[in-house]
Each structure stands twice: as structure tokens, then as C-alpha cells.
Amino acid sequence: MSESTTYTGFWQESPRPGILGWLLSTDHKRIGIMYLTCIISLFIVGAILGLAIRLELIAPGETIMGAQTYNATFTVHGIIMIFMFLIPSIPAAFGNLLLPIQIGARDVSFPKLNLLSWYCYIVGAILAIIAIFSGGGAPDTGWTFYVPFSTQTTTNVNLAAFAAFMLGFSSILTGINFVTTIHRLRCEGMTWGRLPLFVWTLYATAWIQVLATPMIGITLVLVILERVFGAGLFDAARGGDPILFQHLFWIYSHPAVYIMILPGMGVISEIIPTFARKPLFGYWAMAFSSLGIAFAGSLVWAHHMYASGMSDFAVLIFSFLTFIVAIPSAIKVFNWISTLYKGSIEMAPPMLYALAFIFNFAIGGLGGLALGAAASDIHLHDTYFVVGHFHYVMFGGGGFALFAAMHYWLPKFTGRMYNHKVAVIGWALLFVGFNVTYMTMQAVGVAGMPRRYYDYLPEFTTLNQVATAGSWVMGLGLLIMFVNLWRGMCSGRRVGKNPWGATTLEWEVPSPPPLENFGEEDPVVTKGPYNFKGVVADEY
């Protein structure tokens, strides 16, 4: 170790002391840490609500809460997990922490805008929490806010929709910042062909954030107008159309799925080469498949609506486009696995999470085929199969990728290592519990149990009990993982620059990185991102 034992990098170097040094900081790393803290806190709240949902469903009838509370619980669980956890998770937290360093920049293009986007996020999150405890009570519409129910319910939909609107603004600002940063601030020698794949996925994601998020903002404002002023746009009795809302909603919310998963794919594309000590297989295929997913993924929104009453011709078109989007996803999986071929594979905790990601994402993606085909979707739509499916993609994919990123990069940003054995135990519990819970949900959905059901027929009892038991294993795994990471970050063994023997630029600066990342001289890049020749991992 070259640093002195008291070195703490950007944790101490700040123009302002104390808490203001954080709340007014424009340092991308500090903003990244603030995002990460909020995101993980809200994830824990969302996860507790999820466990409560599972507990309620352990038996038919009332178990721990009434129907209205249950409906509010799954609504708030969805709003937190999607708008406050998944969408900002990897881009806003790890994107902020890493993007500038990975392209050899000292910060993002618009550091003040970056801080503003964090404030939009916080205001949105606070408004959402106020919405739960004020007015007519917690919203009970589901995170999808479908009309006409959302325009009629007396619960606090207005404030919740406005909160999501604010969170959308945060996302747009981050997207603008990242696109500009990647175009303008690459260091000397950092050509497009030398960008780490994580940067490519952030780039694709940022375009979706900028182009699609305004749609949800407008749509939610229309819901508020409908509720407050009776605008009538979605009211069939006055010539409006409830199905129009679904189109507007999914034009954003389907691409949003790719906001949640693409950066996760980027994380996996960083981790697998490092722990196989081989360049990522098919660099350009990986880069362009990210752009392909972002583009094609923007054209498939109505596959959520085969049963909605829209025309059969629309079903034909959207089903076709949906299958097209499956192809770049398949390419990614094949390329990750080929990277392992004749590598030198170390099963460190980040690698375990990355491999679990591939497995979970494969199940989620393959399940998506049955939902994309018109005939089979008619049976599976709005059943628990869909609930299982999107948890496989969002949590098994996006969530596991975030956990992989935390195990991979937190040592970089705190300069300390967690306990590997405990990490493996946490991972194993999480992985097993996850699959028991959501595979069972898929099964109960195929058997015909609809989603968003407070109560269910006795024939579904056994499978629901298995899923609930799985959720406890998963909860225990999460607890062990978070405690282990927290202890590691506070008091773990110190690590040097490059504990994993990785090759991207962030591993060439001290751990934790200093303010402005690089010393006096800007870095100059002379080779591709995954050249492992001569790179040695620091002992720790």
C-alpha cells in the first residue's frame, strides 16, 4: 500500500466541512454516495413492504392486514422499488461514482445540475412518503395508476403522482449530464472503442432517460388534471379513452425497464472479464446490443396491452417487435458465457452475484418470450406469472447487478474490504430464497392466480406458502449481505488501488479516489479497457 493509513480520499477532501460539505457538494463521488445511501434505505423499506405482502398471502383471507392496507402496501412497494430504487439505483449511484473516472474525467459535465438532480430525487421521495401518511391515505392504485380507477379513488393519488413526476425530473437531469459527459469529457486516447462497457450501457440508458421520461411526467400531470379539474381526457362518458392512458403510461414505463436493466448488464460486463482475466468476448456486439436494446425497447410498449381491448393488428405489430428485442439480450448472455471460456476464473463475491445475474436474467428473459407471444400472453397476462417474471428481470437482474456492483466497487470507494466468507453465505441464501419465491410465483400464475389479489382460492394455498417461506430465506440473505457490507466498509481490512486485478481506469487511482480523481496530470489511454497482460491484483 502506497497510501498512509489515515488517507480517506474524497471522504475528507471538501471545500466545506461537515454535513454541508455533502449537501452542497458537486463532487460526483459524494453525490454518488448520497444517492447510494438513499437508494439502499428506500430499498430496505420496499423490501420490508414486500415481506409484509408475502406474509399476508401465506393463507387465504386476512392474515396481518385488511384489504385496503394490502392494496396500499403493494402500491407503495411498487412505487418505491421502481421510481426510487431501480430507476436511479445503478445509473445515479454507481454511474455517478464511476462514469467520470472510467473515462478519465475529473467530474461530470454539469456538476451543479448533478446536485440539483439529487435534490429532485430527495424532494420526490419525501413527497411520496408524505403521500402515504396524509390526505385520503396511501395510494391504492398500483404503481401503474391505471384510469379510471386512479381518477376515482379517494386516496392520495395526486401527491403520489406528483412525487413520481419529481423523480422523473431527477432522472432526466442525470441522463442529460451523462450523455454530455460521455461526448465531451473523455480523456486523451479514450476513443469510443476503448470505453468500458459499463459506460456504453450508461450512454444507452441516458438516452432513454432523456427521451422517454417526459412521457411519464406528462401522463401523470394528465391524471392530476383529470382528478382535480375533471379534464375528461380518459373518461369514456365524455369522449375520452381509458386505453389512451395505458399507451401513454407504457411508452415510458416499458423503456424504463431498460433503464433498470441496461446499467446492470454493464456492471456484469465489467465483472466477468476481471474474474476470468480475459477481455470481454465480442466488445462491439456488446456495445451495439446495448444501443439496440435501448432503441428497439422503445417500440414495444403495447405488449403490456394485448388483452386491453386495443386492435388485433396492434397486437400483431407489438408482438413482432417484442421478439426482435429478445435478440440483443440473447447475444449478451452468449457473450458473457464465452468470456469464461479458457479463462482463469475466481469465484469472488462480485463474480457470484454476476453469475447469479446471468441465471436469473435468463429465466426472466425466457419467461418474457411466453409473455411476448400473443396467444400465451392471453393466459398469463395479469397473473402471478407476470409478478414472478418481472421480479426475475428487475430484482434478479437489476437488483443482483446492484449487489454485484456494491461487492465489486465499494472497496474502491471506501478503501476497505468486507468478509468474503460471510458474503458467500449471504449470496447463497439470497440466491436460493429468490428462486424459490419467484419461481413459485410463476407456477401459481400459470395455474391461474391473478395478481394484486388480497385473497385467493384455497387451491393456490400451497404454492403461496412456499413463496412466502422463500421470501424469509431471501430476507435473511439480504440482512447478512447488508450487515457484512456495512461492517466491511466501516472497519474492514484496508485495500490498495486494485484489489481485484482489474483494468479500467478507476483501478489506477487510489482507494478511495481523491477529489477530482486524478493528480496533477490528466490520464492518457493507450489501450482497450480489458487488457489483463501484466495487471496484478494488490494483496489485502
One-letter amino acid at 235 equals D
Among 347, 483, 490, 524, binds another protein (CB under 8 A): 347
The answer to whether residue 332 forms part of the interface with another protein (CB under 8 A) is no
Residue indicated by cell numbers 480520499: 9
Among 7, 110, 207, 323, binds another protein (CB under 8 A): 323
Distance CA 94, CA 96 (A): 5
Footprint on residues 142-181 left by another protein (CB under 8 A): 142, 146-149, 152-154
Q: One symbol per residue from 17 to 46: x for binding another protein (CB under 8 A), - otherwise; what is it?
A: ------------------------------
Q: Which stretch binds another protein (CB under 8 A): 65-73, 166-174, 387-395, 484-492?
A: 65-73
DSSP strands (E only) in 85-142: none
Choose between 101 and 340: whose C-beta lies nearer to another protein.
340
Distance CA 420, CA 416 (A): 12
Distance set, CA 339 to CA 237, 271, 408, 477 (Å)? 58, 11, 18, 28
Footprint on residues 114-143 left by another protein (CB under 8 A): 140-142
Residue indicated by cell numbers 440483443: 328
Alpha-helical segments (H) within 57-110 = 67-79, 87-88, 96-102
Q: One symbol per residue from 281 to 320: x for binding another protein (CB under 8 A), - otherwise; what is it?
A: xxxxx--------------------xxxx--x--xx--xx
User: Least CB distance from residue 155 to another protein, whole Å?
Assistant: 9
Q: In this structure, are residues 126 and 233 in contact, taking their beta carbons and an 8 Å threshold?
A: no
Among 106, 227, 420, 451, binds another protein (CB under 8 A): 451
The answer to whether residue 71 forms part of the interface with another protein (CB under 8 A) is yes
The answer to whether residue 340 forms part of the interface with another protein (CB under 8 A) is yes
Choose between 376 and 461: whose C-beta lies nearer to another protein.
376
Among 276, 293, 394, 463, binds another protein (CB under 8 A): 276
Choose between 221 and 447: whose C-beta lies nearer to another protein.
447
The answer to whether residue 345 forms part of the interface with another protein (CB under 8 A) is yes
Distance CA 411, CA 429 (A): 22
The answer to whether residue 525 forms part of the interface with another protein (CB under 8 A) is no
DSSP bridge pairs for 188: 524
The answer to whether residue 374 forms part of the interface with another protein (CB under 8 A) is yes
Q: In this structure, are residues 496 and 538 in contact, taking their beta carbons and an 8 Å threshold?
A: yes
| DSSP code of residue 134 | S
Nearest to 46 by CA among 129, 121, 124, 118: 129
Cell numbers given for 9: 480520499
Among 23, 231, 243, 439, binds another protein (CB under 8 A): 243
Q: Using DSSP, state whether 191 is helix, strand or coil.
A: coil
User: Least CB distance from residue 142 to another protein, whole Å?
Assistant: 5
Q: Which stretch binds another protein (CB under 8 A): 220-228, 411-419, 444-452, 471-479?
A: 444-452
**Angle 231-233-239 (CA atoms, 0-180°, nearest 5)?**
110
The answer to whether residue 64 forms part of the interface with another protein (CB under 8 A) is no
Choose between 111 and 448: whose C-beta lies nearer to another protein.
448
One-letter amino acid at 365 equals G
Nearest to 452 by CA among 384, 381, 364, 376: 384
Farthest-apart Cα atoms in the chain, separation: 73
The answer to whether residue 367 forms part of the interface with another protein (CB under 8 A) is yes
